[in-house]
């Protein structure tokens, strides 16, 4: 006859117990420290300045931007103001909007590439967006 009972060694869990340090929960309204606040503020200034500083003059200044470009620009500006408010209040959601602003900058770079823009400005905007997104993500996780 076959024995389908489990032995004691198979029923014990080998998973280590979770500690408080491993399973630290955070919320969007958590306060962040002054160092994270300063890093986030400097990241917005530096990465935005880098992106704008290398922007070339438009080929046709009279051409109206398309709807998607206006939408991206409007949402990015709203994220900038939301980040200013969140960082000023020293709340974690300010760091998450910093991440979102960087991610949108990356998306804008990809949109520029899809519409035929190339060159150092496109690469610089992509890297600046990645830097801003990484700054927001790392600070939000560790602040």
pLDDT per position as a tens digit, 53-81: 888 777 777 777 789 989 999 999 999 99
What percentage of the chain carries pLDDT values higher than 70?
83
The reported pLDDT for the residue numbered 100 is 97
Could you tell me how many residues make up the chain?
143
Cβ–Cβ under 8 Å, residues 125 and 48: no
Does the pLDDT value for residue 2 go beyond 60? no
| pLDDT tens profile 14-54 | 665 555 555 567 788 788 889 999 999 999 999 999 988 88
The model's pLDDT over 86-113, given as tens digits with 9 standing for 90+, comes to: 999 999 999 999 999 999 999 999 998 8
| Alpha carbon distances (Å) from 32 to 20, 72, 143 | 19, 28, 6
Closest by CA position to 51, among listed 8, 93, 136, 108: 108
> Shortest CA distance to 42 belongs to which of 87, 89, 77?
87
Rounded Cα–Cα distance for residues 15 and 12 (Å): 9
SS3 content of the chain, % helix, strand, coil (to 5): 65, 0, 35
Closest CA to 139 of 14, 31, 12: 31
Give pLDDT, residue 66: 86
pLDDT at 87: 94
Identify the DSSP state of 32. Answer: -
Enumerate the β-bridge partners of residue 139: none
pTM flag (> 0.85): no
- pLDDT at site 4: 47
Q: For position 50, what pLDDT does the model report?
A: 92
């Amino acid at each position: 006859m076959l024995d389908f009972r489990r032995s004691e060694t198979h029923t014990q869990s080998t998973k280590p117990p979770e500690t408080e340090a491993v399973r630290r929960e955070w919320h969007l309204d958590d306060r962040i420290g002054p160092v994270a606040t300063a890093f986030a503020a400097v990241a917005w200034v530096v990465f935005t300045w880098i992106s704008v500083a290398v922007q070339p003059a438009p080929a046709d200044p009279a051409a109206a931007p398309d709807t998607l470009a206006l939408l991206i620009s409007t949402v990015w500006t709203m994220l900038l103001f939301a980040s200013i408010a969140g960082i000023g209040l020293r709340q974690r959601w300010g760091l998450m909007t910093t991440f979102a602003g960087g991610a949108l900058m990356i998306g804008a770079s990809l949109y520029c590439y899809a519409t035929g823009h190339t060159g150092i400005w496109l690469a610089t905007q992509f890297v600046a967006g990645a830097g801003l997104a990484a700054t927001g993500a790392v600070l939000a996780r560790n602040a």
